[in-house]
Amino acid sequence: MIEDLFADDDSVPRQWQESLTPGAVILRGFVLDTAPVLLQQIDAIASCAPFRHLVTPGGHVMSVGMTNCGLLGWVSDELGYRYSGIDPVSQAPWPLMPDIFRQLAVEAAAVAGFANFNPDACLINCYQPGSRLTLHQDKNERDFSQPIVSVSLGLPATFLFGGLQREDVCQRFPLVHGDVMVWGGPSRLRYHAVLPLKEGIPPWPLRDAVRYNLTFRRVLAA
């Protein structure tokens, strides 16, 4: 089902809502207008906490580059997957979450039906062509009552959204520059993945052919 979010004239709206499953929606074009500022903030965060390729507990090097901002950051190594308040590279706290990041996450969650979202972590992923994210659940958080808010910037990607069991059939959804996906409630623990990123021409103002993904989460129990 597709519903207009902002339609103040007779033209085709730049933003609309696409419902996927109960509790899961894509807000098409939700951050198009603020994308240049978001990209500037990503650069500033990466200057303090550079992107790195984490190693999984099984010894696999992730193809996606990652950094974090906020009270907590997601890390992985031979000890397992977990959240930490300290960047293991710099041994310093993660950069603060920019106000514009928090604002867009709260507003997107509210539009999707989740009031009072209060993220304390923002995972920032950088996909190069060929990078992918394997099927997984977001389950390292302590508070499953609040949703996941995921922002897409840069090259388009194909998002796989499955069920509550790994073997459930996945649906495929294209995500393009400016889209925001929100999932929570009965869909909070659905399996999901990103297919290998294809090469393409980056949208303005990106210079590099990459995809950035901001993933906002509430980790600590409210």
Classify residue 108 as exposed, middle or buried by CB count within 10 Å of its CB (0-12, 13-18, 19+).
buried
The CA-based dihedral angle spanning residues 42, 43, 46, 52, taken in that order and rounded to the nearest 10 degrees? 80
Average pLDDT score over residue span 130-147: 96
- Position 15 scores a pLDDT of 74
- Position 213 scores a pLDDT of 98
Domain for residue 140, yes or no? yes
CATH number at residue 158: 2.60.120.590
Structural domain of 119 = 17-217
Average pLDDT score over residue span 158-178: 98
Paired strand residues for 152: 213
> How far is residue 186's CA from residue 152's CA, in Å, rounded to a whole number?
23
Domain for residue 5, yes or no? no
Paired strand residues for 192: 136, 161
Domain for residue 11, yes or no? no
Domain for residue 4, yes or no? no
pLDDT tens digit string along 98-120?
A: 999 999 999 999 999 999 999 99
- Position 84 scores a pLDDT of 97
pLDDT tens digit string along 26-35?
A: 999 999 999 9
Structure tokens at 181: 């996906």
Alpha carbon distances (Å) from 209 to 35, 66, 144, 154, 191: 15, 16, 34, 7, 27
**Number of domains, the chain:** 1
Confidence of residue 7 (pLDDT cuts 50, 70, 90): very low
Average pLDDT, the chain: 93
Q: What is the DSSP letter of 61?
A: B
Alpha-helical runs (H) found in the chain: 35-48, 99-111
The CA-based dihedral angle spanning residues 114, 150, 29, 106, taken in that order and rounded to the nearest 10 degrees? 40
Confidence of residue 3 (pLDDT cuts 50, 70, 90): very low
Amino acid, res. 168? D
Domain for residue 8, yes or no? no
Q: Is the CB of residue 195 less than 8 Å from the CB of residue 157? A: yes
Q: Is the CB of residue 173 less than 8 Å from the CB of residue 59? A: no
- Given a cut of 90, whether residue 131 has pLDDT beyond it is yes
Q: What is the pTM of this model?
A: 0.93
Q: Which of 93, 90, 86, 150 is nearest to 123 (CA)?
A: 150
- Position 216 scores a pLDDT of 98
Domain for residue 6, yes or no? no
- Sheet with 180-183, strands from edge to edge, namely 2-4, 16-21, 24-28, 180-183, 148-154, 211-217, 121-127, 65-70
Domain for residue 7, yes or no? no
Find the range with the poorest average confidence among 11-15, 107-111, 155-159: 11-15
Amino acid, res. 166? R
Average pLDDT score over residue span 7-16: 53
Average pLDDT score over residue span 176-205: 97
- Given a cut of 60, whether residue 11 has pLDDT beyond it is no
Q: Which of 192, 148, 180 is nearest to 23 (CA)?
A: 148
Domain for residue 67, yes or no? yes
Q: Which of 186, 71, 197, 187 is nearest to 126 (CA)?
A: 197
For CA atoms 138, 142, 143, 149, give the dihedral sign. Answer: negative
Structure tokens at 23: 């509790």
Average pLDDT score over residue span 29-42: 97
> How far is residue 29's CA from residue 148's CA, in Å, rounded to a whole number?
17
